[in-house]
Structure 1
């Protein structure tokens, strides 16, 4: 089937000529329509069309017949000329291209013959030039080989240069030929042989060994009779070969002569000779003084350089002369510095003058030999530059030696027996002194009506006393007789350890004489504490807790005073308040107007009587913070008794205190220090003495402002003293870090730092002169660093022990929950006993190491951490049944044994409150666990529970008692806040 034509394509137009029309008709005919008649019609139509066409042509010709004839004639003429032109072209082609007679074949033949002749001529010319060049090369090669055979090496070098030129000018086609390759091979072998013989002649002319130099002015070539001079040999050597020989010679001279001669004593010998110039080095015996021996080494080296100049340097080619001699300058100056001057730096001040003489000789040697002979640049003088800085070089070497010795002292193994005891004077504000009792009825006494006066607790004494408290300090020494203070104590440095704040207000420690002396009550009744049985366990502390057999036993006892008898008045005593010092505590006498208090609660009041006449009777007003470390002044030697000046403002009531108490001597304390610190201080003192001597010797002039060195003589040595201390601080804690983890080692290191700080401060005060200002500032920094390091290390050790005790209690007691169960109670008891034993062991370790005040402060901080942990766990309990309350009270009483660690004399009461801020609060807590609601209410109303926060008391009441109206009323009363004492 036919392919359908797309509708978008244009259609073929209808045919216009007859043939197309007839073909279209034929195409349109079908089998049904096609017949003879139709075919005859097509033929007739064609014939008619032909006939009509002929008629139109004839009519056209006839219409313009002349023009037709003219065009016909023109056509015939063109045809005739075309035939003539074709004939002529064929004839010309024959005459040009005929192989025998044609022009082109004849020309090509002649050109071919000419090219052959020209090539023959060129070949002949090239062959001539090549043969001529090869003949010249051959002649020069023969000449070269004959000269080498004859030993005429310098002439052979000239021929080698010509041959090299010939090889460079040889034609390119000749370079690839076998004959030229063979010629080059022969030339290379001859040239290498010639260079080898020249190198051999140079080597035999210059002989350098470990002890001699042999230089021959002429040498005979091997296997010939020719004798060559040293100058001709060096001028004939190739630049690269000569450079290699000179490099080797420079190395041998530096190693076997320059370095060797400057390291040891030698004697230079130059035997006379015409041909052979020999220089020998012979061992020389040592001579005295040593500086003369070192100067002789420079003189010997000068002789060697002069010998080289006369017999070798002048023969060097011009291209290598200056380069080689200047190349010897740096090895020579380096050898003079490294092998002579630097090793000769003296290790002591006494050897400096001789050394400076040697330095001057070395500078002269550089001017005369290195600059004069070797031709060094006059502006480049390393020896002179080093000599200008000789002062600094000597001081830096001394610093290195000093620091090396100090390092050996610092890292020396620890020796537990290498310790000594340092005695210090206690500053007045750091000495807890006796609180004198009052002979009059002071605030806190009862009135005639039997009621407690409004100012019974002395809360407003600070308001009344005003500036007297400020001038009074802690108020412990108000009654001491003034004594002159030593000068060492008066000159306290600003960077010293800050004084601790007063533990209590001065007027807070004053109380009724009857309370302070533990006499019977005002009404004539026996002591309530004794009647209640509070002293059953406290009469005689255990021997292991109170025996004092450490080095402190030799220290003088604190000042004591006999208190006067107390007046008697009517009325009851106020209840105890834990936050004020123990002397103010006394059990109250219960009147009929108050509910009956529990007898066990009045133990705390009895404890107050133990502290009435003891030195360490102060405590902080807040029990939440630890007691600070009492400060002290360091005195390496005993000083005369000090006088405490009178306060600027008089006290409000002069009758409150006795007029004066006589001080028998200055209180002192001792602590243990490693013997290593003495050696370090001795090094520092020796260094400062050496630096001072060096600066005052005037051996070196002070550098000017234009000088490159701005350090004054002796400054580096002086500054080495604080560097020794810096080295100790940097190395010792790292080297002995494992040992310092032990409490006793850490505390001794803290003592070492404190001792070093005080000793360095003493040394700093003794510095004099303007040059001592920089070292004084550096020593002041060292003092501050040592004091900070001592204090921080002290607190770090205490903190580690507190953490260990806290971990024991936290792990063992687990919050003191379920203590009603016997197994849990046993676990808690074991943990508390373990913590108690660890605190005792720590106290035993630190007793002979720390000063007494620091010892009690450290043990008090650890003990306070244990008490605080136990109190926090108890107060956090939401519910405390009766059984658990009794058991918790028993667990708390285990820590009462710690009081024995704060007793020096069994006949005197303990001073635990002065160093354990939580002691009274903890004591009350152990009793409150077994107290009744009436006891708690009574003590709260009387202000005895001021150490407790209101929310703590509320939680404790809710945990101890059931939900009753009485408990609700009590809690509401507690939420009202602590009672405010009325003023007078």
Structure 2
């Protein structure tokens, strides 16, 4: 059965001829369809097709019969020639390939015989050449062995060169043969033995040790009677071996006979006795050594080596070896003799100059001429010519190293000293005339007549343009006329009058028609003693008396008079308001803006206490003012002291020594100007300024942890300030001397040190100002909701912490800073805390009664800081001079518990001049309910400032 064709395969095309069609039909027939009739039909069809084809052929032939006959004849002719050609080819093949007589077999036999003969001839030729070359190698190798055994090493080395050439010229087919490889191994062994014996002979001819150098002119070869001269040995050594020996010789020569001789005192002896030449070194005592001897010893060594060794070298190697010694010798002379011997004292320079000249002569004689270094740039001469600059640079390095040791030495707390400074202004004279008033002088205006405002104005000198008629009625009418003046000690203890619990009210009730007394301001009577100071008094007299209390309390005879000696009756004068206003404005001038550190010199006045008043009793109201010129008395400018680190004194001493040495060096004229064209001594003089630059750059980095404390920055500020002043003193002391090369640098260093001192001082104060501000801001959180006990405790903790921090700072800074800076710094930190409290409390929109009492208590906690500004209890505090907001803050604590009548009274009397109008209005609205009285009071406050 036929294999079924898959449907996806292409089908066979229909047959084009009869045979194919019949075959297709036969293929399609099956057992059922195949019959005799079907087969007969196939045969008939096939017969018919054959007959049709025959007829077609016949018709085709007869269509062009002549042409057919012609082609038939041609075919027959081709067939005949093909048969003839085939028979001829068969005959030729028989002739060529006949095994016995054929041409090709005969030719192959002849060629084979010729090739065999040629190969035999070539083999014979190669064998002859190989044997001949091996024979020559054998003879030459035998000669080498004989020479080596006899000790004739130079001849053996020459024979080795010949034999080596034979090995190179050996036929190619002989190179890798066993006999040739074996011959090479034996030759290498023989040559190595010869070179080894030569090296051994060299080591016995040139013997170098740290103590002696021995050179033998000739030496016997081991195990032979042959004697070789040193030139023969050096000439016979291989290039590699000779280079190695010369390198070793140069190294040992530099170590033992150049470097060592230039570094240590040494004696040298030379002996030339048969059969050796010896150079010997002996250590010498250094006490009386002349450094020129060291150069002479090196020169003798070079001369000995040139005579007995370098003359034996081959000419090419001799020049190379001698020149290879030039640079190491010159470098050794510079690094081991001249540079280390460069004196550190100007007095020794003359001897060193002689040594430098000797070194230049040594370079000319031995380096240039003997060793043949004609192309050298003569570094020793160049160094000696620039010796002055080298001396200055080396001294500069040593000076800076010494200063670095001083600067980086550990901090020693006890190694400090006290420095005194004048506290006068820069344009103030040493002796200041102070105006001293008589007892009858009415210019103090403390107990002036109530009906004479002119006398009061003339005495105080406040608000000359103010209208006397606009002043309020004297407040003294509210006080009993029988009130005696309190003693000075009693008033001094409560000069400010802010402590309610310490005050008593001995005065009777006021008359009904008089203004009522304040009810809740913490005062039973107005007291101007706390701020009734006289600005017109000389500032220096106050400084002279107040600052002396830093070291010891003033005596009773001190010219400073306590402000409490002013009669309290005078505090009711209407001029108190004007006085307070001028004092507050004065403080605002010194502290303008939120950052008082912008101008430290204007932060607060230098005097820690108010200007003193005379010690005489105040004039009575019946005393007319005395007219006439004042009496002048000289007052010595007071001094203050601060601590400076002991290292600063060492730095200053070092700077002075360097300047003195530089001046002496510049004046000597023993050296030419240095290469840069600067005058002699310039580098040395500028080293003094470099010491200060090194201090400024190293100290903050080395002691960065110490500068993060409260004490470290202030001590560093003091040190920089003292350095700046000492540089100015040095410049003034050396004004007549030549310091031009370093004058500008010293001025620059002095300026930078002063700036650094001020910067560290200001940055430290600003840091603790911000710390105080942050403690209150984060702890109190605006003083809101203080009626709640927990919130009140948080506020109390923050205020207490600020007080403790400021007291701790005061304790740490007081022993370091001078008084002016100390009080200014503490005042700034205190001012920051008070300003934060003032701002937060005045910003409260509503203050109930309970909160007002608690806020007053919190404010009074900060009153404890007033004790930091008290030097003598008999003189009281001078806190207002350094804390501009103190008066305003003091009144704030009273206003928290004051009535509207009290506020109106204080406003009318001018006690609230430090408050802005909107602040007072906002405070009244926060403290009191919305009533007609509050509205009238606010209108009064608003109208009163217009």
- TM-score tier, shorter chain, comes to 0.7 to 0.9
Task: Report the counterpart of residue 647 of structure 2 in structure 1.
Answer: 676
Quote the residue 1:310 is aligned against.
307
Aligned partners of 1:150 and 1:170: how far apart in 2? 28
1:731 matched to which residue of 2? 698
Deviations 1:114-152 (A, max 9, x none): 111111111111011000110011001100000000100
Residue in structure 2 matching 1:689, options 654, 660, 663? 660
Q: Which residue of 2 aligns with 1:652?
A: none
3-state SS in 2 of match to 1:84: helix
Distance 2:921 2:380 in 1: 87
Query: Which position in structure 1 is the counterpart of 2:273?
Result: 273
Does the 8 A contact of 2:831 with 2:885 survive in 1? yes
Aligned to 1:580: 581
Partner in structure 2 of residue 592 of structure 1:
none
1:273: Cα distance to partner? 1.9
Query: Counterpart of 1:353?
Result: 350
1:296 aligns with 2:293: yes
CA distance 1:729–1:253, change in 2 (3 Å) = same
Moved more, 71-80 or 278-287: 71-80
Question: What does residue range 800-811 of structure 1 map to in structure 2 within 5 Å?
Answer: 800-806=767-773, 809=776
Deviations 1:916-944 (A, max 9, x none): 10111101101111122243345456664
Given candidates 405, 411, 414, the residue that maps to 2:412 is 414
Q: 2:362 is matched with which residue?
A: 365
| Aligned position for 1:645 | none
Secondary structure at the counterpart of residue 635 of structure 2: coil
Deviation of 1:713 after TM superposition, in Å, equals: 1.4
- The verdict on how the C-alpha distance between 1:422 and 1:81 changes in structure 2, with shifts beyond 3 A counting, is same
What SS class does the counterpart of residue 642 from structure 2 fall into?
strand
Q: Deviations over 1:217-237 (max 9, x none)?
A: 111111111111110110100
Q: Which moved more, 1:449-458 or 1:784-793?
A: 449-458
Q: Does the 8 A contact of 1:215 with 1:311 survive in 2?
A: yes
State the alpha-carbon separation in 2 of the partners of residues 239 and 226 from structure 1: 23
Partner of residue 700, structure 1: 671
Q: Which residue of 2 aligns with 1:89?
A: 89
CA 1:938–1:958 in 2, change beyond 3 Å: closer, same or farther? Answer: same
> 1:388 aligns to what?
385
Residues 964 and 583 (structure 1 numbering): CA distance in 2 closer, same or farther, change over 3 Å? closer
Aligned partner of 2:924 in structure 1 is 957
- Superposition deviation, residue 902 in structure 1: 3.0
CA distance in 2 between partners of 1:39 and 1:837 (Å): 138
Deviations 1:409-444 (A, max 9, x none): 3325424264123132512778999899995899x9
| 1:268 aligned counterpart, secondary structure | strand
Look up the match of 2:831.
864
> Is this contact kept in 2: 1:439–1:565, CA < 8 A?
no
SS of residue in 1 equivalent to 2:277: strand
How do residues 425-436 of structure 1 correspond to structure 2 at under 5 angstroms? 425-427=423-425
Q: Aligned ranges for residues 627-776 of structure 1 at < 5 Å?
A: 629-630=600-601, 659-660=629-630, 662-674=632-644, 675-703=646-674, 708-768=675-735, 772-776=739-743
The equivalent residue for 2:519 is: none
- Give yes or no for contact 1:805–1:866 (8 Å, CA) kept in 2: yes
Q: Is the 8 A contact 2:786 2:854 kept in 1?
A: yes
Q: Aligned equivalents of 1:26 and 1:790: distance in 2?
A: 128
Contact map agreement 2:433 2:633 (CA 8 A) in 1: no
Partner SS for 1:945: coil
Alignment partners' CA distance in 2, 1:71 and 1:822: 145
Give, in angstroms, the shift of residue 45 of structure 1: 6.1
* Residue in structure 2 matched with residue 114 of structure 1 by the alignment: 114
The alpha-carbon distance between structure 1 residues 117 and 454, as it changes in their structure 2 partners (threshold 3 A), is same
Q: How many corresponding residue pairs?
A: 859
Task: Give the CA deviation at 1:788.
Answer: 1.3
Out of 838-847 and 678-687, give the one that drifted further: 838-847
1:215 is matched with 215
Deviation at 1:301, TM superposition (A): 0.9
Q: Which residue of 2 aligns with 1:589?
A: none
After TM superposition, give the deviation of residue 828 of structure 1 in Å: 5.0
d(CA) in 2 for partners of 1:912, 1:842: 16
Partner of 1:649: none
Partner Cα distance (1:342, 1:384) in 2 = 13
The offset of 1:383, in angstroms, is 1.1
Contact 1:258 1:301 in 2 (8 A): yes
| Contact 1:961/1:967 (8 A) holds in 2 | yes
Displacement of 1:813: 4.8
Matched residues in 2 for 1:883 and 1:562: separation?
36
**Partners of 1:51 and 1:565 in 2: how far apart?**
171
Contact 2:775 2:802 in 1 (8 A): yes
Decide which of 314, 318, 322 is 2:319's aligned counterpart: 322
Once the 2 structures are TM-superposed, how far is the Cα of residue 564 of structure 1 from its aligned partner? 15
Q: Report what 1:928 is aligned to.
A: 895
Q: Is the 8 A contact 1:213 1:280 kept in 2?
A: yes
Alignment of 1:909-920 (within 5 A): 909-920=876-887
Which secondary structure state, in structure 2, belongs to the residue aligned with residue 225 of structure 1? coil
Q: How far off is 1:668 after superposition? A: 1.8
> Residue 85 and residue 265 in structure 1: after superposition, are their counterparts in 2 closer, same or farther (change >3 A)?
same
In the aligned structure 1, how far is the partner of 2:803 from the partner of 2:915? 24
Q: Which runs of 5+ in 1 are unaligned?
A: 465-506, 540-545, 585-615, 633-654
| Change over 3 Å in CA distance of 1:371–1:105 after alignment to 2 | same
- The answer (yes or no) to whether the contact 2:220–2:227 under 8 Å persists in 1 is yes
Q: What are the superposed Cα offsets for residues 10-39 of structure 1, whole Å, 9 maximum, x if unpaired?
A: 9748x5x66677778889999999987777
Q: 1:230 maps to what in 2?
A: 230
Q: CA deviation at 1:759?
A: 1.4
Q: 2:869 aligns with which of 859, 880, 902?
A: 902
Offset, 1:866? 2.7
Q: Greater share of helix residues, 1 or 2?
A: 2
**Do the aligned partners of 1:672 and 1:848 also contact (CA within 8 Å) in 2?**
yes
CA 741–659 in structure 1, closer or farther in 2 if over 3 Å, else same: farther
User: SS at 1:223's partner residue?
Assistant: coil
Shift of 1:401: 2.3
Displacement after TM superposition at 1:863 (Å): 2.1
- What secondary structure is seen at the aligned counterpart in 2 of 1:664? strand
Structure 2 unaligned spans of 5+: 486-496, 498-504, 508-522, 531-545, 604-624
Deviations 1:628-661 (A, max 9, x none): 64489xxxxxxxxxxxxxxxxxxxxxx9998545
1:189, distance to aligned residue in structure 2 (A):
0.4
* Cα RMSD (Å): 4.7
3-state SS of the aligned residue for 2:632?
A: coil
Residues 220, 228 of structure 1: 8 Å contact kept = yes
Contact 1:957 1:967 in 2 (8 A): yes
CA distance in 1: counterparts of 2:295 and 2:785, whole angstroms? 93
Q: Alpha-carbon deviation of 1:732?
A: 3.2
Equivalent-residue separation in structure 1 for 2:725 and 2:203 (angstroms): 72
1:424 corresponding residue in structure 2: 422
Report the Cα distance in structure 2 between the residues aligned to 1:624 and 1:631, rounded to whole angstroms: 14
Residues 102/820 of structure 1: CA separation in 2 closer, same or farther (3 Å cut): same
Contact 1:201 1:219 in 2 (8 A): yes
Residue 979 in structure 1 maps to residue 937 in structure 2: no
Displacement of 1:524 = 8.0
Q: Which residue of 2 aligns with 1:543?
A: none
C-alpha contact 1:216 1:230 (8 A) present in aligned 2: yes
Q: Distance in 2 between matches of 1:917 and 1:232?
A: 104
| Whole-angstrom distance in 2 between the partners of 1:180 and 1:659 | 133
Please give the TM-score of this superposition, normalised by the length of structure 1.
0.77
Q: CA deviation at 1:285?
A: 3.6
Provide the rounded CA distance (Å) in 2 between the counterparts of 1:33 and 1:325: 124
Q: CA deviation at 1:829?
A: 5.0
Q: Specify the alignment match of 1:241 in structure 2.
A: 241
Residues 630 and 853 of structure 1 are in contact (CA less than 8 Å); yes or no, is this contact kept in structure 2? Answer: no
Range with bigger deviation, 385-394 or 673-682: 673-682
Write out aligned runs for 1:541-552 (5 A).
550-551=550-551
How many angstroms apart in 2 are the aligned matches of 1:828 and 1:170?
Answer: 111
Aligned position for 1:161: 161
1:884 is aligned to 2:851: yes
